[in-house]
């Protein structure tokens, strides 16, 4: 899983401007629906803008968390250096699991937003 997120972060790093623009678009869409609200149809657009913003934020979390190379524990390292590398690796695993759960939650929000948008339209 760490290797997957590392490869994804490397790929996303080349596309970071697009991800930042996607986040700005989601934020602008959300602000537009909050300040220029006309009725129930705008709530569906608001949920869609929130879903876009959440997806872009999740991608930014992956990009900036997993872009650094994974620490490798060598046998000739001192005790505290090995412990530091193992702790860093453990924190990366914890972050990978939290990120996966975050992606699942955002996927649920996206499906709900899509179903609400389709029911209104």
Domain count, the chain: 1
Cα 63 to the chain's mean position, in Å? Answer: 8
Q: Taking 70 as the threshold, does the pLDDT of residue 8 lie above it?
A: yes
* Full domain range(s) for residue 11: 2-120
The per-residue pLDDT for range 69-114, each reduced to its tens digit, is 888 888 888 889 889 989 999 999 999 999 999 999 999 989 988 8
Question: H-helix or E-strand containing 9?
Answer: helix 2-14
Q: Taking 80 as the threshold, does the pLDDT of residue 120 lie above it?
A: no
How sure is the predictor about 12, in pLDDT bands with cuts at 50, 70 and 90? Answer: very high
Q: Burial level of 97, CB count in 10 A (0-12/13-18/19+)?
A: exposed
pTM: predicted TM-score of the whole model, two decimal places: 0.82
């Amino acid at each position: 899983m760490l290797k997957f997120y590392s490869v994804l972060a490397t790929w996303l790093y080349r596309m970071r401007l697009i991800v930042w623009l996607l986040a700005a678009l989601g934020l602008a869409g959300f602000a537009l629906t909050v300040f220029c609200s006309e009725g129930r149809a705008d709530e569906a657009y608001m949920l869609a803008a929130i879903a876009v913003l959440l997806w872009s934020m999740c991608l930014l979390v992956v990009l900036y968390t997993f872009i650094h190379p994974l620490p490798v524990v060598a046998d000739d390292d001192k005790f505290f250096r090995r412990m530091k590398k193992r702790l860093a690796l453990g924190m990366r695993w914890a972050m990978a699991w939290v990120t996966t759960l975050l992606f699942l939650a955002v996927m649920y929000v996206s499906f709900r937003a899509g179903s609400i948008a389709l029911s209104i339209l």
